[in-house]
Amino acid sequence: MKPFTVSRRGLLTGALGIGALGALSGCSARTFFGGQDAGLRFWDLYAGGDGVNMQQMLDGYRAAHPQVSLEAVTLQWGEPYYTKLAMAGAGGRASDVAALHLARLGAYAPAGLLDPFDDELLAEVGIREEDFPAELWRRSHSGDRLFAIPFDTHPFVLYYNLDVCREAGLLDANDELRALEGPEAILDAFTAAQEITGVHGLAMETLGPDCITPWRLWYTLYRQLEGELLTPDNQASAIDDDKALEALDFMQQMTHSGGAAREMDINGSVAIFGNGQAGFHMNGEWELATFQETGVPFGMARIPKIFDTDVAQADSHVFVLPHQLDRSDREQQRNAYEFIAYLLRDSLQWAASGHLPAYQPVATSDEFLSMRPQSLYSSVAEDVQIDPPVWFGGSASRLWISFGSAFSSVLTGRATPREGLDEAKSALQNLLDTPDPTR
């Protein structure tokens, strides 16, 4: 996926005019941007297993609100989605509601690509600050205005094969993974699982185009060491070399100890765990549905406390209001807010795909707490580490891909931890030196 490099001015005056946008989307410009007669329009990027659940939720909304014509469009995940969202917001004729990754808010809200939420309308539809985790609600602001409504958190988690881990003596009396704490305990568990499978202890993405798992693992470990990526004003690097290298040293030990595969792309890692050839798998929790379909006996847990603190890398899906030239139609806007409120209240269905509901009346309900394996890792929602709010951060971002590439070489043995860190620091400085293309 190509990095987003189009400026707002370029969006409005460059070669990609309205006709080109229609060609990009495979539809007419009016349908792509929407018009006054298009009803309620929603854009999302849920093309995986969670997309099936979202379609069921949208069907439920349509059944409950037959008076509202809902037009829902799923666009291509990653930079293609975010580029189209930015172009539409810059033109002021975007969808009524859209999905966004919270870590991307720092690029979109300050650039005027989103509209802030109206406090009165939020109150009318029952969306209240106290119903969301405090940190997610705080991160949903830009300046003193609310620009996002948290929908979920999707953390980096640990999958484990029940049969393999049971035979290796890694499960407790409830058939759940025993508490693993510290580098040695983790490495020993991977080695023990490898001895059972005879193939792999841990199957994890270590290489491939746009490889991002190395970033997600490193940021988890680095934040467990309480390392900071940027200065408080997000203007300069604050990487602590000692902490960064401690995390990278452990990552290289994982693949050099024999317990984890050195060279494996994302599809291979999912397939290997799904067919029972690995005892463990590290990934986002969204692969839950994939492994349920394969029939592999598995459980899930939050990433263990390998270092000082019990945290994990994550992002959050949020609802936003892409910028429109005119949001004066109160009834139309109320429909948009009620649509968001409906999906929040129905987010138990969303949790079926592995995501952790941000809406606390659902997240703390008996129905959610009885869900397995979701409730086994749900406590991590209080400890997730989201990227700093910078234009180059967030899912499928330049930050992820640049650091992922640098640390991929460490996992595969093509670079030392020092070399990998130097490459990552150079990439970070280049990003900091690059003018924000959304401004």
The pLDDT value given to residue 112: 94
The pLDDT value given to residue 24: 33
- For the residues of 251-320, what is the DSSP string, one character each? HHHHHHSSSB-SS--HHHHHHHHHTT-EEEEEEEGGGHHHHHHHT--EEEEEPPB-SSS--EEEE-EEEE
The pLDDT value given to residue 49: 79
The pLDDT value given to residue 228: 98
E strands within 97-208?
97-101, 114-115, 141-142, 145-146, 149-150, 152-161, 200-203
- For 433, half-sphere exposure in the C-beta direction (CA atoms, 13 angstrom radius) is 6
Tokens of 373: 């394996």
Q: How far apart are CA 120 and CA 127, in angstroms?
A: 10
Domains defined for the chain, CATH in brackets:
8-153+316-378 (3.40.190.10), 154-314+387-433 (3.40.190.10)
* CA-based end-to-end distance of the chain: 21
The pLDDT value given to residue 36: 42
What pLDDT tens digit does each residue of the chain (439 aa) get?
333 333 332 332 222 222 233 333 333 333 444 444 448 999 999 987 788 999 999 999 999 999 999 999 999 988 899 999 999 999 988 999 999 999 999 999 999 999 999 999 999 999 999 999 999 999 999 999 999 999 999 999 999 999 999 999 999 999 999 999 999 999 999 999 999 999 999 999 999 999 999 999 999 999 999 999 999 999 999 999 999 999 999 999 999 988 999 999 999 999 999 999 999 999 999 999 999 999 999 999 999 999 999 999 999 999 999 999 999 999 999 999 999 999 999 999 999 999 999 999 999 999 999 999 999 999 999 899 999 999 999 988 999 999 999 999 999 999 999 999 999 999 999 999 999 887 7
The pLDDT value given to residue 437: 81
Residue 146 dihedral angles phi and psi, to the nearest 5°: -90, 120
The pLDDT value given to residue 320: 98
The pLDDT value given to residue 38: 44
The pLDDT value given to residue 79: 85
| Distance set, CA 384 to CA 87, 133, 163, 303, 315 (Å) | 30, 11, 29, 11, 8
